[in-house]
Structure 1
Amino acid sequence: MERETIKSNFFNYKKANYFSDIYPPLEDIINSPEINLHLFNSNCIIKICKLLDIRTNILYDNSKNQDVEEELVNQNNINKEDIKSQRIIKFCKKFNSKTYINPIGGTELYDKEYFKKNGLELLFVNTKDYSYEQFNHSFNEHLSIIDMLMHTGIEQTKQTVKEYNLI
């Protein structure tokens, strides 16, 4: 599977402006020997963040959150829609967070008032408009961070990911 992913990225992006800069670290990320999907994905995110100088502390050890999951499973009076919000609220409280920031798509899933009643501020990341050249095609937005890196390079990608508003 990983060889297919590497070949696919190679052939899809070999003519991209920043291919020679981005492909080696990407290949290193994809070639990780990790077989646990959760840990593999966490490792990918951590390495991409390091590449972009994003210094967010990423917590990925699920064993530390087992108590929250068990508590949610044992709550019979909670409906299916609220369990997603309650999971976030419980995690935030466990880590003494006052604010939860979610991608903009979460406006359909999460209610700011519900979070407020539970002592949390809920904000959504609203990415500012951006575009870049993609092989002389019309711009296809929100493909992936890999696409942006391959076409704009590390420095421009660093700038672009900082362009957002919290709503």
Structure 2
Amino acid sequence: MRIAIHQPQFMPWLGYFDKLDKADLFVLLDNVQFKKNEYQNRNRIKTHEQWIWLSVPVSFNFGDLISGVQINNQQDWRRKHLQTLLTYYGKAPCYREHLPALTELYANTGDSLADLNMATIELIRKIFAIDTEIVRASDIPGLSEEPTARLLDICRHFKADTYLAGAGGKDYMECEKFKAAGLKLLFQHFVHPEYPQINGPFLPYMSALDYIFNTCGDFTLIRKLNQELEEY
């Protein structure tokens, strides 16, 4: 079984879903420290000229795990998100097709950032017709707190024989430990597609919502461009 492990992001980009698509099991690493200025509570959307952050306001203390971070629902962020998406994507070819599901997602959001991120990942996964099973690391007992050991513990728990890492994994991973544990180690090398965008010249690395609103979420192009993985 091929397993991939990644922190739960808010409305992730296309490369996130390519990694999800290439795994048999995808584990959301929600039992690690929350970092505010990354992608755990925000992502990029395209404007008429450049891009902006679509951010979820959160309440947290330094050292809090992602699984424990609460959304600051005293702010009117849901309405602002939907209004922002209308402003910049209202004329996109597939905006109205996917608006009802997105509106329902926002309406059913509670207080947990991890739950919200899981919901956004599930919504986009279904649009892309990706059937990979998703589980949370916080539901797995007895995991090590040391980063590499934690990943290996997760692989052992699910009896995986292959670990799929992101392209940047070689910069920080202790790769030999995976080999020593009998795991085949693969690295993703995501090739970003260029597609028509409603607003100005093409900008890559937006939330996958940008691709969905502009192309109706056909994942075929992503799969065609990303068929190869690098083995360690």
**Residue type of the alignment partner of 1:34:** G
Q: Which runs of 4+ in 1 moved over 6 A?
A: none
> What is the number of residues matched between the two proteins?
152
Query: What is the percentage of aligned positions where both structures have the same residue?
Result: 24
In structure 1, the gaps of 5 or more residues are 74-82
**For 2:134, which of 58, 65, 86 is the aligned residue?**
58
CA drift of 1:141 comes to 1.0
8 A Cα contact 1:39 1:60, kept in partner: no
Aligned to 1:160: 221
SS of the residue 2:108 aligns to: coil
> Higher Cα Rg: structure 1 or 2?
1
Any residues of structure 2 matched to 1:130-149 within 5 Å, and which? 130-135=193-198, 137-149=200-212
TM-score of the pair, normalised by structure 1: 0.81
**Residue type of the alignment partner of 1:133:** P
Aligned to 1:45: 121
Q: Which has the higher helix share?
A: 1
Q: Which has the higher strand share?
A: 2
**Residue type of the alignment partner of 1:60:** R
**For 1:90, which of 153, 162, 171 is the aligned residue?**
153
Structure 1, residues 129-166: CA drift from partner, whole Å, max 9, x if none?
A: 410122352221121110111111122xx113323121
SS of the residue 1:58 aligns to: strand
CA drift of 1:90 comes to 0.7
SS of the residue 1:11 aligns to: helix
Q: Measure the CA separation in 1 of the matches of 2:166 and 2:102.
A: 24
TM-score of the pair, normalised by structure 2: 0.60
Q: Measure the CA separation in 1 of the matches of 2:201 and 2:155.
A: 41
